[in-house]
Amino acid sequence: MRPVIGIVPLYDEEKQSYWMLPGYMKALEACLSIPVMLPLTQDKTELLYFIRQCDGLLLPGGQDVEPALYGEARSDLCGPTCPDRDAMEGLLLDAAIQLDKPVLGICRGLQFLNTHTGGTLYQDLPSEHPGLSHRMAPPYDRAVHQVTIERESPLFEIVGDTGYGVNSCHHQAIRDLSPILSAAAVSEDGLIEAAWMPGKHFILGVQWHPEFSYQSDPVSMRLFEAFVKAAKYPWR
């Protein structure tokens, strides 16, 4: 049986619509899984049903994480947030951790994984952590800077090396790492670009965007493959 991967929806406040970038779904389909976009809801009963039915959870990119969730006042440079999505992801992530379901966080997904488990963020990288440009121009299927992969992390097995070139399109990033996460990759200017949760089957987040590069970059494809492989664990 193909594992079912639940994906948290992207939300367009202006159009009041749910939507999804095709790269997330196409990459998962290419790995022989069944991606399903979940409805945006805070109904705990509904969310627990979804997380029990799904074999894995993908937290995609999107709006900024609400700074109040990590104990900070909003900066003038913080972007739009989505409180409904923050609440939904918190409930789903708690359940996934408790049930030891595989979780892959991408961009905002890594940031939410970090803040929800006790870490903090730079609300605006250019002003709070000057260094590399982390907001590349399209196309996004190419590398613009390097990261160093930690050998002790599961990401090292996926990448197969301690150095890796990544794409980059974000204005927030991890400031203080969650006490229950470990760094998996660090950028040339010292930012944590990937993190994982030791002791769990597969909980990993990356700051870059493999959904844009999975067709051209074998490592991006291997990241999705490793996630789907973890989701094939016989949960039921």
Per-residue pLDDT of the chain (236 residues; tens, 9 = 90+): 899 999 999 999 889 899 999 999 999 999 999 999 999 999 999 999 999 999 999 999 999 999 999 999 999 999 999 999 999 999 999 999 999 999 999 999 999 999 999 999 999 999 999 988 899 999 999 999 999 999 999 999 999 999 999 999 999 999 999 999 999 999 999 999 999 999 999 999 999 999 999 999 999 999 999 999 999 966 54
Give the pLDDT confidence score for residue 144 in this predicted structure. Answer: 97
Q: Which domains does the chain have, with CATH numbers?
A: 4-231 (3.40.50.880)
Predicted pLDDT of residue 234? 63
* Active-site annotation holds for 78: no
| pLDDT at residue 19, as a whole number | 95
pLDDT score recorded for residue 132: 87
For residue 84, which of 43, 117, 56 has the smallest C-alpha distance?
43
pLDDT (0 to 100) of residue 30: 98
**Annotation says 211 is catalytic:** yes
Q: 209 an active-site residue?
A: yes
Compute the distance between CA of residue 192 and CA of residue 172 in angstroms, rounded to an integer.
11
The C-alpha torsion from 65 through 203 and 55 to 94, rounded to 10°, is -50
Task: Indicate which residue of 66, 89, 150, 211 is catalytic.
Answer: 211
Question: Which structure tokens are listed for 117?
Answer: 């488990």
Instruction: Give the tokens for residue 86.
Output: 């923050």
27-31: long-range contacts, CB 8 A cutoff, minimum separation 24? 27/210, 27/211, 27/214, 27/220, 27/221, 27/224, 28/58, 28/224, 28/228, 30/214, 30/221, 30/224, 31/221, 31/224, 31/225, 31/227, 31/228
Question: What span, in angstroms and rounded, lies between the C-alpha atoms of 114 and 52?
Answer: 23
Catalytic residue, chosen from 31, 107, 150, 193, is 107
- Options 116, 134, 170, 209, the catalytic residue: 209
